[in-house]
Amino acid sequence: MKPAQKGERTTLSAADWERAALDLIAEQGVQAMAIELLARRMGITKGSFYWHFSSRESLLDQALIRWEKHDVRNLKASLGEIDHPRDRLISFFRRVGKEKLTHEVFSELCAAAGHPHVEPVLERVAERRMKYLSLAFEEMGMEPDLARHQGRLIYSVYLGFLQLQRQRQTPSLSSEEFDAYIEHVINTLIPS
């Protein structure tokens, strides 16, 4: 057969399923990740799926692992390279809106906390992120306990923002209202 033209059939890999799964999760949430729907989207059938994966849960696990790795890289990239801790914290907030897919997935994962396979992921991710944030505050001269609290606080603000976003109650992501709010958050929570 022709080995890969327009919509030509080329053989799929497990990674393809995982990526498609993450796309669907980003759009409609964890619980909507149905394998037959995925199959239709990829122009294929279930038969393929159960060759690559043993069950729906296993796909979910693999997809989550993939996502988490990506998230770790993101964290290191966007926070690890900046040396001044204040800029690091600011960049953490500015990061909202960029890395769209990764972020939308995360938002849906938050909504699916409680799911046994999702919870541990969220736990690890939150732990990592809060550590990074707290560390930055320490480097700015805060005592460890204070820095830890401040890290948790600022991460909560971030999570709350995501929640409001899910409810369509954040000022549209690139308006002056939005910028003003971010400015306010930074001034309030990040010491100069």
Partner DNA sequence: CTAGATCCATACGCGAGAGTATGGTAAGCC
Partner DNA sequence: GGCTTACCATACTCTCGCGTATGGATCTAG
By the rule CB under 8 A, 163 interacts with a copy of itself: yes
How near is the Cβ of 168 to DNA at its closest, in Å?
Answer: 24
| H helix count then E strand count, the chain | 9, 0
By the rule CB under 8 A, 117 interacts with a copy of itself: no
- Kindly identify the residues of this chain, within the stretch 173-192, that bind a copy of itself according to CB under 8 A: 180-181, 184-185, 188-189
How near is the Cβ of 96 to a copy of itself at its closest, in Å?
Answer: 12
Cβ neighbours of residue 90 under 8 Å, at least 6 residues apart?
186, 190
Cβ atoms within 10 Å, residue 59: 21
Query: Which one among 57, 146, 175, 179 touches a copy of itself, defined by CB under 8 A?
Result: 146
Q: Show the CA angle centred on residue 168, arms to residues 164 and 172, nearest 5°.
A: 100
Bridge partners of residue 98, in order along the sequence: 96
Q: Torsion over CA of 134, 135, 136 and 142, rounded to 10 degrees?
A: 70
- Kindly identify the residues of this chain, within the stretch 35-94, that bind DNA according to CB under 7 A: 35-37, 39, 43-48, 50-52, 55-57
Taking residues 53 to 92 in sequence order and writing x for each that binds a copy of itself by CB under 8 A, - otherwise, the string is ----------------------------------------
Residue 47 or residue 114: which is nearer to DNA going by CB?
47
Least Cα distance to 180 among 166, 170, 169 occurs for: 170
Residue 71 or residue 108: which is nearer to DNA going by CB?
108
By the rule CB under 8 A, 33 interacts with a copy of itself: no
CA contacts within 13 A on the Cβ side of 164: 13
What span, in angstroms and rounded, lies between the C-alpha atoms of 27 and 101? 9
In the complex, the residues that contact DNA under the rule CB under 7 A are: 1, 3, 9, 11-13, 33-37, 39, 43-48, 50-52, 55-57
